[in-house]
Structure 1
Amino acid sequence: MDEEKDIDILVSIQQELCDMWGINNKTKYVFYYDESNNCRKFWVDGSRQQFNTEHTADFVLAGLVRKENEKVEASLETFRKSLKLQANVKEIKFKKMYAKSDFLQCVKERRLFETLSWIDKSPFYIHYVNVNNLFYAIVDIFDSIVELDEISEFGYDYNKMKSEFYYMFKGKADALQILMFKYKYPNIQKKYVEAFCNDLLLLLKSREEMKEEEKFLVRMLNRAAGSDELVFLHDNDDYIMQENYAEFYIDPILKYQKSRHIFDEETIVQDIVKKQIAMRNNMANNFQFVKSETDIFVQLSDVVAGILGKLFKYINSTNENQRGRDVKGLSELQVDNILLIDKLRMEADRENPGFLCSIGPLEGIGMLNRFFEMVKKKRK
Structure 2
Amino acid sequence: MGAQVYPFDRVDVEAKDFFHDVPGTRGTDQQLALYYDETNNFGKLKLLESGLNVSKSDNFVLGGIALKPGQSAGDALDLRRKLRVQASAKEIKFDMVAHGAFDKMLGSTKLSHVLNWLIDHDLGIHYTNLNIISWFTLDIVDSILAEGKFSSYFVMHRELKNELYHIASKNLSGFLSLIYKYNYPNVQRSETANFLKDLYCFLLANWPDIAFPPTNALKEIILRARIVPELCFLEGSESNVLIRGVESFFLYRLCAFKNSSHVFDEEKIVRESIGKYRILNGGREIPYQFVDSKDHFEIQLSDVIVGFLGKYFSYIEKTPANSLIQFKNSFNQVQRNNVTALRKLIERSDSISNVLLHRVTTMDSDSKSDYFVFGTGLSPHLRSTNR
Sequence identity (%): 26
**Residue 219 (structure 1) shift:** 2.4
| Structure 2 equivalent of residue 79 of structure 1 | 79
Q: Does 1:317 align with 2:322?
A: no
Q: Which moves more between the two structures, 114-123 or 168-177?
A: 168-177
TM (norm. structure 1) is: 0.87
Structure 1 residues 326, 278: CA separation in 2 closer, same or farther (over 3 Å shift)? closer
| Structure 2 equivalent of residue 92 of structure 1 | 92
Structure 1 residues 328, 252: CA separation in 2 closer, same or farther (over 3 Å shift)? same
Q: Which moves more between the two structures, 254-263 or 171-180?
A: 171-180
In 1, the alpha carbon distance for the partners of 2:291 and 2:184 equals: 36
Deviations 1:118-149, CA, capped at 9 Å, x for gaps: 01111310111101101110001111122286
In 2, the alpha carbon distance for the partners of 1:181 and 1:155 equals: 27
Deviations 1:293-327, CA, capped at 9 Å, x for gaps: 11111011011101101111111001110111222
Give yes or no for contact 2:141–2:157 (8 Å, CA) kept in 1.
no
Secondary structure of the structure 1 residue equivalent to 2:289: strand
Structure 1 unaligned runs (5+)?
none
Give yes or no for contact 1:131–1:360 (8 Å, CA) kept in 2.
yes
| Structure 2 equivalent of residue 37 of structure 1 | 40
For 1:71-150, list aligned pairs within 5 A. 71-75=72-76, 77-94=77-94, 96-147=95-146
For 1:231-310, list aligned pairs within 5 A. 231-277=232-278, 282-284=283-285, 286-310=287-311
Secondary structure of the structure 2 residue equivalent to 1:353: coil
* AA at the equivalent of 1:37: N
**Residue 80 (structure 1) shift:** 1.9
In 1, the alpha carbon distance for the partners of 2:154 and 2:284 equals: 42
Secondary structure of the structure 2 residue equivalent to 1:82: helix
Q: Which moves more between the two structures, 33-42 or 283-292?
A: 283-292
**Residue 199 (structure 1) shift:** 1.9
Give yes or no for contact 1:30–1:261 (8 Å, CA) kept in 2.
yes
Deviations 1:72-113, CA, capped at 9 Å, x for gaps: 4423x122210011111111111x313423321211221111
Give yes or no for contact 1:327–1:374 (8 Å, CA) kept in 2.
no
Structure 1 residues 139, 367: CA separation in 2 closer, same or farther (over 3 Å shift)? same
* AA at the equivalent of 1:16: D
For 1:321-340, list aligned pairs within 5 A. 321-340=322-341
Secondary structure of the structure 2 residue equivalent to 1:174: helix
**Residue 273 (structure 1) shift:** 1.9
Deviations 1:22-50, CA, capped at 9 Å, x for gaps: 2212221000010011112222233x323
| Structure 2 equivalent of residue 54 of structure 1 | 56
Would you say how many aligned residue pairs link Structure 1 and Structure 2? 365
In 1, the alpha carbon distance for the partners of 2:249 and 2:208 equals: 38
Higher helix share: 1
Q: Does 1:198 align with 2:200?
A: no
Structure 1 residues 375, 299: CA separation in 2 closer, same or farther (over 3 Å shift)? farther
Secondary structure of the structure 1 residue equivalent to 2:110: helix
| Structure 2 equivalent of residue 214 of structure 1 | 215
Aligned alpha-carbon RMSD (Å) = 2.6
Give yes or no for contact 2:370–2:376 (8 Å, CA) kept in 1.
no
Secondary structure of the structure 2 residue equivalent to 1:277: strand
Structure 1 residues 106, 129: CA separation in 2 closer, same or farther (over 3 Å shift)? same
Deviations 1:177-222, CA, capped at 9 Å, x for gaps: 2222222211223333222212211222459953332232222212
**Residue 174 (structure 1) shift:** 2.6
In 2, the alpha carbon distance for the partners of 1:267 and 1:15 equals: 29
Secondary structure of the structure 2 residue equivalent to 1:303: helix
In 2, the alpha carbon distance for the partners of 1:26 and 1:16 equals: 10
Structure 2 unaligned runs (5+)?
1-10, 378-387
Q: Which moves more between the two structures, 58-67 or 77-86?
A: 77-86
**Residue 287 (structure 1) shift:** 0.8
Secondary structure of the structure 1 residue equivalent to 2:20: helix
Secondary structure of the structure 2 residue equivalent to 1:32: strand
In 2, the alpha carbon distance for the partners of 1:155 and 1:270 equals: 38
In 2, the alpha carbon distance for the partners of 1:347 and 1:272 equals: 30
In 2, the alpha carbon distance for the partners of 1:149 and 1:363 equals: 28
| Structure 1 equivalent of residue 19 of structure 2 | 14
Q: Which moves more between the two structures, 217-226 or 236-245?
A: 217-226
In 2, the alpha carbon distance for the partners of 1:353 and 1:278 equals: 22
| Structure 2 equivalent of residue 159 of structure 1 | 158
